[in-house]
Structure 1
Amino acid sequence: MARRCELTGKAVLTGHLVSHSNRKTKRRFLPNLCNVTLQSEALQRSVRLRVTAAAIRSVEHRGGLDGFLVKASADELSPGARALKREIEKKAAAAS
C-alpha cells in the first residue's frame, strides 16, 4: 500500500538528517496517515479512506466529504476517491 493520502495526494518526501558535525544522511519524511470512516450525505453511506490528518481538517473545513470532493481537482485524488467524486456528482445532477 502506497504511503499517499487518498484525498490530497500528499506523499513521502526525502531529505537529509543533518548532524551536529553537519554530516548528511538520507531520511524520509512520512505523511501522518490515518484510517478514517467519513460519512457522505449525498450517497447516504460511509466511506473508508486512508488520509492525512491535514486532509481530515480540510474535509471538516469544507463542510464534509461531499463538499471537499466537489471542490477538489480530479488529478490530485486517488482512483477510489475519483470514483466517489463521480458518484456524488451524478447524485447531485439527478437531484437537480
Structure 2
Amino acid sequence: MSRVCALTGKKAMVGNNVSHAMNKTKRKFSVNLVKKRFYLPEEDRWITLRVAASTIKTINKNGIAAVLKQAKANGFIK
C-alpha cells in the first residue's frame, strides 16, 4: 500500500539532510497518514480512508461531503 492521501493525493517529498558542516544527503519527507473512519449522513454509512493529518483539518473545516466532492472533481476518487 503506497503512502498517498486518499483525498488530496499528497505523497512523500524529497529533500536534503543538512549537517552542521553543510554536507547534504538525500532524504524523504513522508506524509503523516492516518487511518480514519468518517460518517456520511447523506448515505447513512461509515467509510474508512487513509488521509493526511492536514486533510483531517480540512474535513473538520469544510465537511466531509464538500471534501469528497472536491476529490472527485480532482480525480482522486472514482
User: TM-score, structure 2 length as denominator?
Assistant: 0.90
Q: Counterpart amino acid of 2:53?
A: A
- Displacement, 1:71? 3.2
**Counterpart position of 2:66:** 67
Following TM superposition, the consecutive aligned residue runs of length 4 or more in structure 1 with deviations greater than 3 angstroms are: none
2:11 aligned counterpart, secondary structure: coil
Letter in 2 for 1:69: L
Displacement after TM superposition at 1:60 (Å)? 1.1
Identical-residue share of aligned pairs (%): 35
Q: Which has the larger radius of gyration?
A: 1
The separation in 2 between residues aligned to 1:17 and 1:53, in whole angstroms, is: 23
Query: What is the DSSP-based 3-state SS (H/G/I as helix, E as strand, rest coil) of the residue aligned with 1:58?
Result: helix
- Aligned twin of 2:42: 42
CA distance, structure 2, for counterparts of residue 48 and residue 54 of structure 1: 17
Mapping 1:1-96, distance limit 5 Å: 1-63=1-63, 65-72=64-71, 73-75=73-75, 77=76, 82-83=77-78
Task: Tell me how far apart the structure 2 counterparts of residues 12 and 71 of structure 1 sit (CA, whole Å).
Answer: 21
TM-score between both structures, scaled by the size of structure 1: 0.74
> Whose helix fraction is larger, Structure 1's or Structure 2's?
1
What is the aligned residue count?
77
